[in-house]
Amino acid sequence: MLNAIPILGWLLSFLFSVSLSIPFYFLWNGLAPTYFYWLPAAYLDVPFWNCVGLFMLMPMVKMLVYPSSCSSSSAEVKK
- What confidence score (pLDDT) does residue 70 get? 62
Asked whether the predicted pLDDT for residue 79 surpasses 70, the reply is no
Q: Provide the pLDDT confidence category of residue 51 given band limits of 50, 70 and 90.
A: very high
Global pTM exceeds 0.85 = no
Q: Which long-range contacts (CB under 8 A, 24 or more apart) does 7-13 make?
A: 13/56, 13/59
Q: Is the pLDDT assigned to residue 24 strictly greater than 70?
A: yes
**What is the structure's pLDDT at 49?**
95
| Among 22, 19, 3, residue whose Cα is nearest residue 11 | 3
